[in-house]
A = this chain, B = another copy of it.
Amino acid sequence: MFNEKLDDIVTELVKNYDSDLIQFDSPNRHFPSRSAIVGIIKDLRRVLFPRYFGDERPCASGPQYFIGETLTHIEYELHREVREALLFRGGDNLSYHEADAQASQICSDFFYRLPEIQRMLFDDVQAAYDGDPAAQSREEIIYSYPGFFAISVYRIAHVFYELNVPLIPRIMSEYAHSHTGVDINAGADIGRFFFIDHATGVVIGETTKIGEHVKIYQGVTLGAISLRAGQKLAGKKRHPTIEDNVTIYSNASVLGGNTVVGAGSVIAGSTFVTQSVPPNSRVTSSGVEVREPGCANLEVKVPGEK
């Protein structure tokens, strides 16, 4: 039966292919390769934390051969993918030669920042170790914590976002999202010593700003109050600002581009915050209470309880 209908179905689908969403007949546009970008992430992690994610071999003559060769390999892959992404966005307005030169500059800028990325990740490991009594060692965090994985990918993707590379930061973020359930938009601006515990179901929007020593739990949303304004809001600050030393418990939502959570505040689980709170606040579903700095013991009550 299928055989009898096949010609008709083909005809019908060929008609649909007239949609400008279909790329079948665009010979000069290519999507960056998702699997190549995942490979780049994996190779970067091997350079940043050797022997955790690969089987790099110790070598008493020093690690420079390993680093140099691995970076050379990564650059080759990255250069191509960045060029494809630029060409995809640029369309007829960008020549292959221009795209290639821009890609070259972007790669160079990225690698120049790599040592600093590594140092920031060292601090994130420390934050996780200090924050989680279940962590038996700092190595365990690097090796197996999904929150640290998501932050690692974010810190890499963020540089490409800043370098105005299209598509690739998104592909990186969604790779981490898919593996961890943590969706950090590459545009977010996140300070040092960041920790996400039990990382799952976390959303951090594109224009979020996060200070240092911030700790968040599963299910936390740092989002927008967008309400169907859609593309008109592109580029505007739509997500909150979280200052230093804030802790946000599980399933809390903090929304809105003007919302600022003051330094040292604690947001209880399952709360829904859409207005700013001053520093050292303690926010529960019963309200906001400002406390002395350092006084941080949370006694949450079941709402309605005596």
Contacts and interface: CB of A to CB of B under 8 A. Distances in A.
Given A178-B180, A238-B133, A274-B301, A31 B2 contact: no
Contacts of A229: 133
Given A57-B72, A177-B146, A108 B5 contact: yes
A263 to B, nearest CB: 14
A298 B225 contact: yes
B68 A65 contact: yes
B144 A170 contact: yes
Interface in A183-199: 183, 185, 187, 198
A221 B219 contact: yes
B305 A234 contact: no
Contacts of A105: 1
Count the copies. Answer: 6
A266 B144 contact: no
Interface in A169-211: 170-171, 174, 177-181, 183, 185, 187, 198, 200-201, 203, 205-206
Contact of A21 (B66, B122, B296): B122
Given A68-B6, A283-B302, A143 B115 contact: no
A38 interface: no
B219 A219 contact: yes
A298 to B, nearest CB: 6
Interface string A47-87: 10111100011111111111111111101100100000000
A34 B143 CA distance: 9
A219 B198 contact: no
Given A26-B58, A221-B250, A272-B268, A134 B174 contact: no
A72 B47 contact: no
B61 A4 contact: yes
B118 A144 contact: no
Contact of A133 (B146, B215, B231, B274): B231
